[in-house]
């Protein structure tokens, strides 16, 4: 299958690496990116077959076009390249972390056969240098066919997902955006806010010497590409705001519960009372919910 990858960073590069490692004989991969450094490295590594001089050249002759740039750039690329892709009969697939806006942008291009997509995989590093052949292995990849997509378009999209070792899951764009706002976008904002609150404190230089696994795990997603973060928030603003309101109310409840615990005076023995027992029960309920879901 003739595949064109537009945008060649972590995700686009990992797709190319996965195809080269798992299913190389079936795919002819052309790529283009605003920065030609990644595509040229991919060509040297043997994971792409050609580097196009422009985005328009990249999509010419393709059967499947994968938009793998930043979220905001993907929306603009739909508008810029959509007419050419529509006239060629190729399928447009994308890997955008917010799908409602993408679906509306694609619907504005007459004849464009669009399948939305979002691989639920990533690392905090960015760029082709961070790309991995196993990034998608065993991970869910959301597939969101538009009304304009036919059986051939779905077959092409599913072939790419399977070749990358991922598991396809069908969702509607609005449902996708509501769910990933909770499990992906809200954690990014919370991690960034936590890191900002702590690293701007006067005590941070001393505290940084003590930061260990808990700090690293809780703030990991805040180390990611700022352009990716801005894009996902801009495209999914309303859903993120709704979850932020819910989180703020929950955080206020936790503060109230922590404040209800009497301070422990030095040298004074005190048995655990109702506030401690209630807090322990709350921790236990949260832990049980996570264990039940993730095993």
Q: What is the pLDDT along the chain (295 residues), one digit of tens a residue?
A: 999 999 999 999 999 999 999 877 899 999 999 989 999 999 999 999 999 999 999 999 999 999 999 999 999 999 999 999 999 999 999 999 999 999 999 999 999 999 999 999 877 778 899 999 999 999 999 999 889 999 999 999 999 999 999 999 999 999 999 999 999 999 999 999 999 999 999 999 999 999 999 999 999 999 988 988 999 999 999 999 999 999 999 999 999 999 998 887 655 656 667 889 999 999 999 999 988 766 4
CB atoms within 10 A of CB 218: 14
**CA distance linking residue 23 with residue 63, whole number of Å:** 17
pLDDT number for residue 123:
76
pTM (two decimals):
0.86
Q: Please report how many Cα atoms fall inside a 13 Å half-sphere around the Cα of residue 251, on the Cβ side.
A: 9
Q: How many domains, the chain? A: 1
Structural domain span for residue 58: 2-171
Residue 243 in domain: no
pLDDT number for residue 269:
57
pLDDT number for residue 124:
75
Cα dist. 273→176, 266, 267, 269 in Å? 43, 17, 18, 12
CATH no. for residue 11?
Answer: 3.40.50.720
Question: 164 Cβ partners below 8 Å, 6+ apart?
Answer: 14, 15, 18, 19, 22, 119, 136, 137, 141
Please say whether the beta carbons of 172 and 144 come within 8 A: yes
Residue 27 in domain: yes
Please say whether the beta carbons of 117 and 12 come within 8 A: no
pLDDT number for residue 293:
66
Nearest of 16, 182, 159, 15 to residue 98 by alpha carbon = 182
Residue 108 in domain: yes
Residue 282 in domain: no
Coil/strand/helix, residue 111: coil
Residue 224 in domain: no
User: Which residue's structure tokens are 């409840």?
Assistant: 253
Residue 237 in domain: no
Residue 65 in domain: yes
Residue 277 in domain: no
Nearest of 7, 57, 50 to residue 27 by alpha carbon = 50
Coil/strand/helix, residue 249: helix
């Amino acid at each position: 299958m003739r595949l064109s990858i537009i945008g060649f960073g972590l995700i686009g590069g990992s797709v190319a690496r996965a195809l080269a490692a798992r299913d190389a004989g079936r795919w002819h991969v052309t790529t283009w990116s605003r920065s030609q450094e990644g595509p040229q490295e991919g060509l040297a590594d043997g994971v792409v077959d050609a580097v196009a001089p422009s985005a328009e050249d990249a999509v010419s002759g393709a059967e499947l076009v994968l938009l793998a740039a930043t979220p905001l750039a993907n929306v603009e690329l739909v508008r810029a390249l959509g007419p050419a892709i529509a006239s060629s009969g190729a399928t447009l697939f994308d890997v955008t972390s917010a799908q409602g806006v993408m679906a509306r942008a694609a619907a504005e291009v007459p004849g464009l056969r669009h399948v939305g997509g979002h691989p639920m995989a990533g690392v905090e590093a960015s760029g082709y240098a961070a790309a991995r052949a196993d990034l998608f292995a065993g991970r869910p990849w959301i597939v969101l066919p538009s009304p304009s997509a036919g059986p051939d378009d779905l077959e092409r999209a599913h072939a790419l997902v399977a070749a990358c070792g991922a598991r396809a899951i069908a969702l509607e764009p609005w449902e996708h955006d509501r769910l990933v706002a909770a499990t992906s976008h809200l954690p990014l904002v919370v991690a960034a806010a936590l890191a900002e609150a702590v690293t701007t404190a006067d005590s941070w230089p001393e505290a940084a010497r003590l930061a260990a696994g808990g700090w690293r795990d809780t703030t990991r997603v805040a180390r990611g590409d700022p352009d990716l973060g801005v894009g996902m928030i801009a495209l999914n603003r309303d859903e993120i705001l709704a979850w932020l309101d819910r989180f703020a109310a929950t955080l206020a409840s936790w503060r109230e519960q922590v404040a209800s615990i009497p301070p422990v005076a030095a040298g004074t023995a005190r048995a655990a009372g109702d506030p401690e027992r209630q807090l322990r029960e709350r921790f236990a309920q949260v832990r049980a919910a996570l264990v039940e879901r993730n095993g």
